[in-house]
Structure 1
C-alpha cells in the first residue's frame, strides 16, 4: 500500500487496524505521531540552513526551529560558536570581558538564540538546524518525513490508535516499532552524513 500523503496514511491506519469506525479520530492519531516525530527525530532529513543576525545578545530562531546543529560566524577567519545550556552561558557571560564576537550560544524558550560573552561587533551567523516537518492538514498533504519514512507515521499513528482503544498489547507493540524506527533513522542518517563519499577500489592493472 502506497503512503504518499495524509489521505493514504489515514487509509493505511484503518486497514492495519481493521477498523472502519474511527474516521473522526484519524487526524488525532496522525497528530500525535507528528508531535512525537517533531520531538524525537533528529536526522539530516530535517536539516535546514538560515542566516542569523548576530548583533545583540539575543536573536530569534528561524521558523520551524527544533534544535541547533551548528552555528558559525561568517567572518575571517570563520568562528564556530560553541553550544551550551542557558545556565553555563550565564557563567560565560559573567566570567569573560567584552569582546569583538561571541564564542558561545544557547537556545532559550525553544525559539531564541542567546550569545555570550557580551560583544561589540556584528556578524552574520550561518546556522545549520533541525527544521520541523510540515504539518499534515489536508488529505493531499505530505512532508519530508512522510515521503522518506512513511512507516514512522504509520507506526506512530497505530500506537496512538491502540492507546485510544485501551489495547495495551498492541499499543506497546507499535510503540516499540515506532521508537525503534526513530532510533534507527537517527543513527543511520547521522552515520551516513559522517561517512563521506565511497571510493571504489582500483581494478587490477589500473593506473591510479
Structure 2
C-alpha cells in the first residue's frame, strides 16, 4: 500500500508493527517522530498552489505549517509569473475596492493583501515547512518524497511503545542510513538558491548502541 497521507501513515504503523493495540498510539508516535525530524532535518523549502477568493483580501494557510514565508507569485497559466511585494503586516495602505494585489503580508495563519481580489487568482507560495501531519494537513514534502524515512521514524516510536528495543533499533539503523541522502537532496536545493543550512552537515540522528539514552 502506498503511503501518501496522514491516514495511510497511521494504517501503515499498525500493519508493520502487526500489533492492533499500536493503532491507538499512532498519532502520538507520528507526533514524536516529527519532533525529531523537525529538530534534525529542519524546515524545508517547498511550494504550494493556493487560490484567492473573489472580493476577499485573505487566504488561509493554516494547513501548510509555514515556518518562514519566502515568496508569493501570481501564477496564471496564460502569462509569466508575477512576484508580489512582501511587507510587514499593517505597514501598507489597504484599498477598499477589489482589484489586482500589489502587496502581501502574513497575519497569523493568513496571507493578507492590500485589497480585496477582483478575481480568484491562483498563486504559487514559496515557504519553509515544518513536519506536522494532521487531518487538515494530510501530507507534506517529506512524506511525498521520502515516505520510507517518515515510516521508519514512526516505527521507532512504535517499537518503544511495545517495549521491543531490537525492533526499534532496526528502524534506527534504517533511519541512519537514509537520512544523509535526504539531507543531501535538501542541501542541493538550497545551494541552488545560495543558502545552506548548517544542520545539513550532521551525519547521524539516533544512536544505535544506546537506544535508551536518546529519548526521555
Scaled by the length of structure 2, the TM-score of the pair is: 0.47
Higher relative contact order (CA 8 A, sep 6+): 1
Bigger Rg over Cα = 1
TM value normalised by structure 1? 0.48
